[in-house]
Amino acid sequence: MSKITKVKGFPDLFPPQSNLYVFMENTARKIFSYYGCEEIRTPILEKTELFARSIGNETDIVQKEMYTFLDKKNRSLTLRPEATAGVVRAFIENVQAKSDEVFKFFTIGPMFRYERPQKGRLRQFHQINVEYFGPQSPQADGELILMLWHYLHALQLNNLSLQINSLGCPQCRPIFEQKLIAFLQTVDEAALCPDCQRRKTTNPLRVLDCKEQSCKQILIKAPTIIDNLCSTCRSHFQAVLDILDNTKIPYQLNHKLVRGLDYYQRTTFEVIATSNNIGAQSAIAGGGRYDGLVKNLGGPDVPGLGFACGMERIALLLEVQNNLQKDFFIAVLSEKCLLPAMSLANKLRHQGLSGEVSFEVKSLKSQLRYANKHNIKICLFFGEDELHSGKIPVKDLETGTQHEVFFEDIITTLKRFLKTEIG
């Protein structure tokens, strides 16, 4: 029979790779809880209109990248290409927001974009996504970036660059857009890439962050949004930068950073990996403020801001060897020992130790090979001799030291070997 293979761009995740995802998720849960951020879950399927209205009709995501289909009742549905739109919809439907309240949520899960798959770019990928609702203050933008930085450092990532910009507000942005359009009219249209020739009229801001070398060259002389901010946006942005300076978070101002989603206002940022092991897709996180989106989706006039980390790209940066270590492996050397070995493993697990017990009797050599391959720290050998003597050989696989240990002392000995507090 022919085998059925996976859909292109939809990867499976197995150990050790999947352990990295557990590590990223657990670290996120821990660090975000320090900031009072609570986990929510929203559906992966939403009405298509939600994305068209929030991300923007003229964006690449909505124009080219959505998995959209009609259901059995001819309703247009879309697999979420990002989380923010769905979280905002869910916020409006589930939360009675009062004007002075602050809500902090995060959500972890798969997103879907019909892009050309390559290293760090997939059709099903995962995001760790944070959204704050309520605060207008630049303090919130600052805290959000501090939390993201804290998280990335807790993952022990370095060689990162934080790029930041302000996109202004509905008062000052249209004036800037007019200036940009006027500038674009002065350039030789043929020198722009086909996408930018289209964007010039449909979404001129997006021309600014085109990655094509020819467009980049032309845009060196383009007006910058930062020089065109109104005084309120300017002082909001300066206050965010003051927080970063005060907390010694290094950043680069990037006046071409407009992001690929239309809902942003004021602060926008991205974290770029400067090491070259993630290929061309170097943005590992991105976000910003989206005041107006909650209202635009039919909710109250509540400001919002957030970011998302791309888990596949972070995984490329983390040690692939970051294998989940298990504390023990009980090698069973005789049929009679299967039952007591299982009960010993049960006892150890109830003491908070992680590990495995052999399900069948095999040679000592093959069981040791298994333990070494599966990142086990300590191996216990359980044979008939041990049953009679009440003593069991315990081997530290990291140092190679081995001791005979009485059954009743096993837990304390393992504690000593593992140098952890158990129980």
**Residues found near ligand HAM in the complex (CB under 6 A):** 82-84, 113, 115, 120-122, 125, 127, 129, 131, 260-261, 283-288, 306-308, 310, 312-313
If the CB atoms of residues 59 and 358 are measured against ligand HAM, the closer one turns out to be: 59
Question: CB-wise, 313 or 395, nearer to ligand HAM?
Answer: 313
Single-letter residue type at 148? L
Listed in sequence order, the DSSP H helices in 47-83 are 48-54, 60
CB of 126 to ligand HAM, least distance (A): 8
Could you tell me which residues are beta bridge partners of residue 396?
378
Q: Where on the phi/psi map is residue 266: left (φ > 0), alpha (ψ -120 to 50), or beta?
A: left
Q: How far is the CB of 107 from ligand HAM (least distance, A)?
A: 10
Which residue blocks in 160-280 are alpha helix, DSSP H?
173-186, 194-202, 213-219, 231-246
Nearer to ligand HAM, 133 or 328 (CB): 133
Look up residue 419 and give its two tokens: 């140098």
Residue 330: CB minimum distance to ligand HAM, A: 40
Radius of gyration in angstroms for the set of CA atoms belonging to the chain, rounded to a whole number: 27
Query: Helix, strand, or coil here: 275?
Result: coil
**Phi, psi angle pair for 126, to nearest 5°:** -120, 140
Of 132 and 328, which CB lies nearer to ligand HAM in the complex structure?
A: 132
**Minimum CB distance to ligand HAM, residue 305 (Å):** 7
- Based on CB atoms, which residue is closest to ligand HAM, 43 or 390? 43
Strand 252-253 and strand 160-166: the pairing is parallel
CA atoms within 13 A of residue 111's CA, in its CB half-sphere: 27
Residue nearest to ligand HAM (CB): 310
Smallest separation, CB 112 to ligand HAM (Å): 9
User: Least Å distance between CB 304 and ligand HAM?
Assistant: 8
| Partners of 307 in beta bridges | 130, 287
Dig out the tokens for 88 from the structure: 């905002």
Q: Which is nearer to ligand HAM, 225 or 332 (CB)?
A: 225
What is the nearest approach in angstroms of ligand HAM to the Cβ of residue 211?
A: 14
Toward ligand HAM, which CB reaches closer, 309 or 332?
309
Helix (H, G, I), strand (E, B) or coil at 194: helix
